[in-house]
Amino acid sequence: MSTNQPNPNQMQPSDLPTSERLATAATGMMSAVKTQTVGEKGEQPTHTIVDSTTVKSYTESWPAMAKKSAEQTIEKYGLPNEALPSRLIWYNNAPWKRTICYRDEVPHNFPQPHSDVVENFIDYQVPPEKASELARFDGSVIVERTKGEVSARCDMEAANILALNMMHEIVTGRMTAEQAREKYSEQTAAYVMNRPAPYAEVLQFQLPTSDTTDTDHVTIGGDLLDQSVEKVKDAFR
């Protein structure tokens, strides 16, 4: 029997009193103001290194593809900064902002059957109107509009480099989703057969150096905003 079944006696979101809801909203506003003025935005990297014994204890029982991707990533970038039974995480392992190797495989049939087990992240701002075209290109290219990140998840790093290069071609209008799928399939076959495949070998564009986050716009005002502001002021007092 699953241990994750809902507990009918647990407090649900609808049970929260108005005062608690306002307090939570005020805390969120205060945190947003702080991080956007004096703090560091977004996910902060971990700088420690996990020892090889701990890493091995987690990965030795992983499925074959997940274990192989982890071994290849360690060989190239060294031991990870974080390790959990379900994943290994590297930060700032250039050109990547973050790399995650997963224990659990995600089946994916494009352009051929494989398992998605390694994900590479970059800072990149995708215009909202391009998001649906990227989804048509490859469901394992993931856009984080608010964080200003894009990642690609596949079975090996070269495939992620290729996917992100195709993402850039789509965003800049040089390819449609259909053209990118065709090019991706062609370059994947070339790479596997050890023929020239430049799109799979290195990122073909400069990574942005400016802020790529998109905090969007405030759309709630009136009494709710006024009351939240008062709670923020009270907290600062």
User: What average pLDDT score do residues 35-44 get?
Assistant: 68
User: What average pLDDT score do residues 129-137 get?
Assistant: 97
Better-predicted residue by pLDDT, 3 or 209: 209
Better-predicted residue by pLDDT, 16 or 102: 102
- CB of 18 within 8 A of CB of 227? no
Q: How far apart are CA 119 and CA 211, in angstroms?
A: 22
pLDDT of residue 1: 44
Q: 235 pLDDT exceeds 80?
A: no
**Three-class SS of residue 205?**
coil
Q: How far apart are CA 88 and CA 55, in angstroms?
A: 8
Helices (H), 60-214: 64-77, 131-137, 157-171, 177-192
Q: 147 pLDDT exceeds 70?
A: yes
User: What average pLDDT score do residues 40-54 get?
Assistant: 88
Q: What tens digit of pLDDT does each residue of 1-13 get?
A: 455 676 767 777 7
Which single residue is written with the structure tokens 């087990």? Answer: 117
Q: 63 pLDDT exceeds 70?
A: yes
Q: Which of 21-25, 60-64, 76-80, 83-87 has the lowest mean pLDDT?
A: 21-25
**Per-chain mean pLDDT for the chain:** 89
| Identity of the residue numbered 155 | D
Q: 29 pLDDT exceeds 90?
A: no
pTM: 0.85
pLDDT of residue 141: 98
pLDDT of residue 226: 66
Domain map (residue ranges) of the chain: 52-200
User: What average pLDDT score do residues 192-214 get?
Assistant: 96
Better-predicted residue by pLDDT, 98 or 29: 98
Binning pLDDT at 50, 70 and 90, where does residue 43 land? confident
